Structure 1
Amino acid sequence: MHLFKRGMIFVTFFGACIAMALLVASLGTKHWVNAKAKRVKNPMESDGKIHFGLFDGRKDLNVAYGWRTYEIDVIHLLKYEPEFLIYGFWLGTVVTICLGLLFSTFSAVFAAINTATTTSRCLTSVPGLYLWNFLALVSDIIAICCWIAQFYINIQYNVLSREDKDNEWTSENMAELGYSFWFVVGAAVATFVNIIIVFIANSEKEVETVIPVLEEKTNGAIMLY
């Protein structure tokens, strides 16, 4: 394999590692949603700050006499307060992030293999890198779409528990997508760049193969003379 091609493939190893790190960070951090909250009957004297990830988070509420902190258990709320989040979109987000992480791992491993040695097996060869990166990109995009749908259908109207709503708290139109979500967008971008790099590395092969053919024809002509 040409040195340039090996170098380009090795670059995709780092791209896949970046994607993996971002996806792991998105699963582990608690800022898929950031929101503020107010009490309907005394909005000027109340304030609330809420943030949570795919599994847990925190809310700080203040009703004129000091801040109180409460933990948010997303899994518990999904089970006992199904209106909190749409379960299908939440599950789709978690599953596709895990799939994206798996495929990015495959991409990194096989990029290292292709850099170290030449292999002819489809799934571990350079064309196989297209497959793993493409599957990772599709998984990331589905996760992004699931959470955007979750946000615009449900989250923007409420991020509070039933108890908070009964106490006249509201977060309507005060929520935004947090940095944990943008980690997934970053992973998708890194994977897309990987696909472009693999394409460039593969296109180099076409240039390389033309030269031996021309040399062979020239040598044949010389032999005839």
Structure 2
Amino acid sequence: MTMFKRAMIFVTFFGSCFAIALLVASLGTKQWVNAVAKRTINPEESQGRINFGLFDGKKDLNVAYGWRTYPIDVVHLLKYEPEFLNYWLWLGTITCVCAGLLLSALSGVFAAINAGTSSSNCLLTSKRLYLWNFLAMLSNLGAIGFWLLQYYFKLQSNVLSREELENMWTSENMADLGYSFWFVVGAAAANFINIIILLIANSDGNKETVIPMLEEKTNGAIMLY
């Protein structure tokens, strides 16, 4: 394996680490959706700010008497207010993010191994890095797709609980995708860039020739005779 190829493969290690950091941040932050809200009976005097992630978040509401902050437990709402989010789209998002995290970790580990050794193991060969990065990108794209469906079918029209809705609050057409969601987009881009780097590293002009090794073995055999 040439030094150029080793260096390019090692670059994908950093790309995988970047994807891992983005995915961990997406799971840990509470900005998958941001929204504002108001009461239909006094829209000029009421204000609301809502943001939450895959597991929890918060809402700040002001009914003209000052701001009040309330926690949002997404899991609780899924259980007791199933109309709040589509459970399967929510579960699909989490599953895909976790799968992308695992596959990005695998691609990073195998990139480091391939950059330091020349293994013939089918699981460790540099061409197998295409598979890990492609699967990681596919998982991240799955998470993006699930959450976009969640947004268009549920979040765009409402991010409030039954209690707020009964108190005449509304967030219809006032919700946006938060930066936690865009972290996953960035992770998918990092996996895609890794694939491009691997294509460059394994291009015909950078492939290591095996002829010198065959000649060396032949010469060794002649010497024995």
The C-alpha deviation readout for 1:44-75, integer Å capped at 9, x for no partner, is 00000000000000000000010000000000
Question: What is the match of residue 102 of structure 2?
Answer: 102
Judged with a 3 Å threshold, the aligned counterparts in structure 2 of structure 1 residues 98 and 197 are, in CA distance, closer, same or farther, namely same
1:122 offset after TM fit, Å? 1.6
Deviation at 1:121, TM superposition (A): 1.4
Q: CA deviation at 1:212?
A: 5.7
Give per-residue Cα distances to partners, 1:85-138, cap 9 Å, x unaligned.
Answer: 000100000000000000000000000000110011122111110110011000
Give me the whole-angstrom Cα distance separating, in 2, the residues matched to 1:210 and 1:173.
62
Count of residues in Structure 1 that have an aligned counterpart in Structure 2:
215
- Deviation at residue 205 of structure 1 after TM alignment: 6.0
The structure whose residues are more often helix, as a share, is 1
Partner residue in 1 for 2:84: 84
In the alignment, structure 1 residue 40 sits paired with structure 2 residue 28: no
TM-score normalised by structure 2 residue count = 0.92
Please, what TM-score do these two structures have when normalized by structure 1? Answer: 0.92
- Which residue of structure 2 aligns with residue 219 of structure 1? none
Aligned-partner Cα distance in 1 for 2:65–2:142: 44
For residue 209 of structure 1, give the secondary structure of its aligned residue in structure 2: coil
Percent identity between matched residues is 68
Residue pair 1:5, 1:204 contacting (<8 A) in 2 also: no
Give the whole-Å Cα distance in 1 for the aligned partners of 2:88 and 2:118.
Answer: 43
In the alignment, is residue 193 of structure 1 matched against residue 193 of structure 2?
yes
Could you tell me whether the CA contact under 8 Å between 2:78 and 2:84 is conserved in 1? Answer: yes
Q: Residue type of the partner of 1:192?
A: F
SS at match of 1:65: coil
Secondary structure of the structure 2 residue equivalent to 1:44:
coil
SS of alignment partner, residue 95 of structure 1:
helix
CA contact under 8 A between 1:15 and 1:190: conserved in structure 2?
yes
Query: Considering only aligned residues, what root-mean-square deviation do their CA atoms show, in Å?
Result: 1.7
Structure-2 residue corresponding to 1:28: 28
Deviation, 1:165, is 0.2
Letter of the structure 2 residue corresponding to residue 88 of structure 1: W
